Structure 1
Amino acid sequence: EQYDENGQLQAKGTYLGGEVDGIWEEYHEDGQLQARGTMKWGEPDGPHEYYYENGQLQAKGTIVDGELDGVWEEYYETGQIKTQRTYKAGEHDGPYVQYDQSGRLQVRGAIMGGDRTGFWEQYDQSGQLQAKGTIMGGEVDGAWEEYDKNGQLRAKGTVLDGERDGVWEEYYGNGQLHTKGTYKSGERDGPYEQYNEDGQLQAKGSYQSGEADGIWEEYYENDQLRTKGGYKAGERDGVWEEYYENGQLHTKRIVKDGAIEGWWEEYYENGQLKAQRSYKSGAPDGPYEHYYENGQLQTKGTIVDGEQDGLWEEYYENGQLQTQGTMKDGKPDGPYEQYDETGQLQTRGTMKDGKVDGMWEQYDETGQLQTRGTMKDGEPDGPYERYYGNGQLQTKGTMKDAEIEGRWEEYYENGQLKTQRTYRAGEHDGPYEQYDETGQLQTKGHYSDGRVDGRSEEYYENGQLKTKGSYTGGKRDGMWEVYYGNGQLQTKGSYTSGERDGMWEEYYENGQLKTKRSYNASTGGTGLH
């Protein structure tokens, strides 16, 4: 017997000839039995049992000449069996069973020479079969099946040396075949088929060394062919065709080493050609044409290295030219024209690097010039003119960096000058005059930084002076006078910062004084005299 320093029994048994021999027991610190077994000449030999601290059996089995031998069982601390396995001369050899803590079967099979061997089954946490099949030397070898959580067959096939080999089938949860294909050394190699959940064929083709190879086809749910084309070493190669659900050809192209090469054609569902273009090394390169569904040409041009280049034209569905322009590196560059459906010119000008540059003209529906101006980098810069529908000049002036600059004139439809004013950086700055349709001056004045500034005058239709005065910073300032149409003074007085200030006088049309009134711009007060 052996005790710890507190007097607690640690081990007890029998010695013979100086060696442990017979029943031997070891104890936990609390005195609870930990292990019991039979010893012979100092080595385990015979039945053995191991216990948890709570006294529950942990494992039991037989040892012969110091090595595990025969059936051994392991238990959870709850007393539920955990594993059952068979040993021979210290190695797994025979049936093997494993359970979870609730007693549900998890694994069942056999082990020989330390490796899993023979028929094996695996179960999920609910006790449902997950997989079953043959294992040799620790690797799956032979028929193998896998199941989903509902017990439905998910996949089945043959495994050789741990890798899929031969025909394999995969299934949907409803039991319908999903895919069927052949494997070789773990890679797809041979025919392949794929189905939808209703059992209709979706795709079929073949693999070689794990890569798609040969003719492949895809199908619609109505069993109509959807796509058809060839693969070579995993890349598309050869003629590829796509179809509408009604069986009509949708697209057709030639592919080489995974890249489109040569002509590519697209069709409408009615069979009419929709577009055709040429490819080089996977990028559009060469002539391009696009058609309306009625067969009328819609667009045509040339593509170089994937970018639009050269003359491009667009047409209306009635066959009338819509736009015509030159492209360079995918951007408009050169002359450009746009027409309406009757063939009438609408716009004409020049493009540079994708932006309007140079003279630009726009026309109305009758063909009459509407506007003409100079553009630079997409913005107005230079002379500008606008015309009435009768061809008469309406406005003319100059633009600089997209802002009005310099002298601008407006005209009436009869050709008579309407206004003339001066701009600087987009704002009124300089003399201003306005005329009626007969050429009679109506208003004249001056602007500074966008605001009225300096002397200003207004006139009656007969040319008689109507008002005169001055502005400072956009507000009336100084002496102002108003006259009757006969030239007789009507009102006169002064302004300070837009407010009447000082003595103001008002007269009758015969020149007789009518009123005199004083104002105070600072206080807002008035007084009648």
Structure 2
Amino acid sequence: MQFIKTSLVFTLLFWSVCLIAQPLTRTDSSFYDVARTKISGITHWYPDEARGDTIKTGLAAFYFPNGNIKQRGYYNHGLADSLWTSYYLFGQVKSRVWYVQGRKQGSFEQYFEGGGLKYAGTYLNDSLNGAIRLYYPNGNIQEERSYSANRLNGPTTGYDIDGKLSFRMQYRDSLPDGPFEKYYPSGNIKETGSRQGQQFYGDYMAYYDNGQPEMRYTYQNFSIDGPYKVFYDDGSLKIACVYRQGRINGPYTKYFRSGQAEQKGNYADGNLSGTWEYYFENGQLYIEGNYVNNLPEGMWKVFHDNGEQKQLGKYKAGKAEGPWQFFHNNGKVRSQGNFEDNKQQGHWVHFHPNGIVQLDLYYTLGKLEGILTAYDTTGKILEQSEFIDNQLVRQIKGPSAR
């Protein structure tokens, strides 16, 4: 009996030692609600003698309130490890990412909710690294990028939704750096140039889809400097001028497609300056006047396309000032009066094309004031009214006269 008792004690002691040596695990469940009916996550834990604590290990799963899986993966000594997969609300895979000791390492993929691949690439120590591809929902490649240390470095190539080349650009530390090209859906070149961050440098060219140049100029010290030309899509010149340190300086000419000048004048440090002339496409002078610091100054003349005067008056610091006249295209006066600080002032008269007075009226700083009289083409009074502060106060003659 003593042997039996000894054996039983030894057996109990042996199993006690085995139980102590075997890691004690526990499963933790978290819930969305107090009643613990909607599970939100499950993790497994085991004791860590070195830390004197328990840490997560093994499979982990997290859920949406509707019970569908949200994310699943694996912990190793409290750190995310191996493949982790995330899901959309109704079960479609959202992403797959590989972890090693808590860091994203290796390939990853992200998907559209409809199921197609959205982008894919690789991580190195939690940072994007190497080639990354972005996709359209139809499966075509949207962009091909190069990363190092989580920043764009190297070439990036973009495509339109139909898979046609859209642009090429160089990056350094996630900023544009070097030559770039943009393309039309036809495959024809659209723009070429060079960038450093948000700045441009060197030669810039823009093209029409038919291959003809649209714009051509050069950057010096990140500012447009030198000849600046714009073209029509048939190759004919549209605008010709010169920039100095980012501002237009000197002669400026704009042309109609026919080659006839549309505008001629000068710029001084980016401002309209001196005499400017504007033309109809038939070559007839349309407008002639003077600018000072980008504002009209002095006498300005406007003509009808038949060469007859259309308007005549002076500006002071960009505002109409003094006597002005406006003309019908037969050369007869259409209206005349004075401006003060860009507002009609005093006595104004309007004329029918036959020269007979049409309206006789008065203004005070742009507001009708006093008696207004209207005449027919024979000079007969049609209507007469009184205004105070731009408001009709009395009709002396006419349909509403009393």
Q: Distance in 2 between matches of 1:181 and 1:217?
A: 15
Q: CA deviation at 1:324?
A: 0.1
Residue correspondences, number: 363
Quickly say closer, same or farther: Cα 1:145–1:352, change in 2 above 3 A. same
Q: CA deviation at 1:319?
A: 0.7
Q: Distance in 2 between matches of 1:290 and 1:329?
A: 20
Deviations 1:194-241 (A, max 9, x none): 112221111111101110111111222111222222101332222222
Unmatched runs of 5 consecutive residues or more in structure 2: 1-11, 31-35, 389-393
Whether contact under 8 Å (2:29, 2:43) holds in the other structure is no
Q: Distance in 2 between matches of 1:311 and 1:241?
A: 31
1:167 aligns to 2:131 (yes or no) = yes
Quickly say closer, same or farther: Cα 1:74–1:311, change in 2 above 3 A. same
Deviations 1:89-138 (A, max 9, x none): 35547532315373747212341x32223333333443333322332231
Q: How does 1:305-320 map to 2 (within 5 A)?
A: 305-320=269-284
Q: What is the SS of the residue equivalent to 1:245?
A: coil
Whether contact under 8 Å (1:216, 1:230) holds in the other structure is yes
> Which residue, 109, 119, 135 being the options, matches 2:99?
135
> Which residue, 92, 115, 120 being the options, matches 1:151?
115
Whether contact under 8 Å (2:68, 2:91) holds in the other structure is no
- Residue number in structure 2 paired with 1:17: none
1:95 aligns to 2:49 (yes or no) = no
> Which residue, 4, 9, 23 being the options, matches 1:69?
23
Q: CA deviation at 1:380?
A: 5.3
Whether contact under 8 Å (1:213, 1:234) holds in the other structure is no
1:229 aligns to 2:193 (yes or no) = yes
Q: CA deviation at 1:82?
A: 4.9
Q: CA deviation at 1:258?
A: 5.5
Q: CA deviation at 1:425?
A: 10
> Which residue, 80, 91, 105 being the options, matches 1:116?
80
Q: Distance in 2 between matches of 1:125 and 1:398?
A: 75
Whether contact under 8 Å (1:72, 1:86) holds in the other structure is yes
Q: How does 1:488-527 map to 2 (within 5 A)?
A: none
Deviations 1:240-269 (A, max 9, x none): 222222222222333456654444332222
> Which residue, 220, 225, 238 being the options, matches 2:184?
220
Quickly say closer, same or farther: Cα 1:328–1:80, change in 2 above 3 A. closer
Q: Distance in 1 between matches of 2:286 and 2:206?
A: 31
Which letter does structure 1 place at the counterpart of 2:112?
D
Quickly say closer, same or farther: Cα 1:388–1:192, change in 2 above 3 A. closer
Q: Distance in 1 between matches of 2:370 and 2:196?
A: 67
Whether contact under 8 Å (2:25, 2:47) holds in the other structure is no
Q: CA deviation at 1:84?
A: 5.2
Q: What is the SS of the residue equivalent to 2:233?
A: coil
- Residue number in structure 2 paired with 1:455: none
Q: Distance in 2 between matches of 1:319 and 1:333?
A: 24
Which letter does structure 2 place at the counterpart of 1:97?
A
- Residue number in structure 2 paired with 1:357: 321
Q: Distance in 1 between matches of 2:351 and 2:97?
A: 90
> Which residue, 229, 238, 241 being the options, matches 1:265?
229
1:324 aligns to 2:278 (yes or no) = no
1:85 aligns to 2:85 (yes or no) = no
Which letter does structure 1 place at the counterpart of 2:71?
Q
Deviations 1:432-485 (A, max 9, x none): xxxxxxxxxxxxxxxxx9989xxxxxxxxxxxxxxxxxxxxx99xxxxxxxxxx
1:209 aligns to 2:163 (yes or no) = no
- Residue number in structure 1 paired with 2:266: 302
Whether contact under 8 Å (2:169, 2:181) holds in the other structure is yes
Q: Distance in 2 between matches of 1:132 and 1:398?
A: 81
- Residue number in structure 1 paired with 2:143: 179
Q: What is the SS of the residue equivalent to 1:271?
A: coil
Quickly say closer, same or farther: Cα 1:315–1:96, change in 2 above 3 A. same
Which letter does structure 2 place at the counterpart of 1:209?
D
> Which residue, 218, 235, 241 being the options, matches 2:205?
241
- Residue number in structure 1 paired with 2:72: 107
- The alignment yields a C-alpha RMSD, in angstroms, of 4.4
Q: Distance in 1 between matches of 2:337 and 2:39?
A: 95
Q: Distance in 2 between matches of 1:103 and 1:385?
A: 82
Quickly say closer, same or farther: Cα 1:105–1:383, change in 2 above 3 A. closer
1:287 aligns to 2:251 (yes or no) = yes
Q: What is the SS of the residue equivalent to 1:192?
A: strand
- Residue number in structure 1 paired with 2:8: none
Q: What is the SS of the residue equivalent to 2:161?
A: coil
Quickly say closer, same or farther: Cα 1:91–1:124, change in 2 above 3 A. farther
Quickly say closer, same or farther: Cα 1:310–1:72, change in 2 above 3 A. same
Question: What is the TM-score normalised by the length of structure 1?
Answer: 0.57
- Residue number in structure 1 paired with 2:302: 338
Quickly say closer, same or farther: Cα 1:91–1:356, change in 2 above 3 A. same
Structure with more helix by fraction: 2
Question: What is the TM-score normalised by the length of structure 2?
Answer: 0.73
- Residue number in structure 2 paired with 1:5: none
Quickly say closer, same or farther: Cα 1:109–1:394, change in 2 above 3 A. closer
Q: CA deviation at 1:74?
A: 3.7
Q: Distance in 2 between matches of 1:174 and 1:188?
A: 25
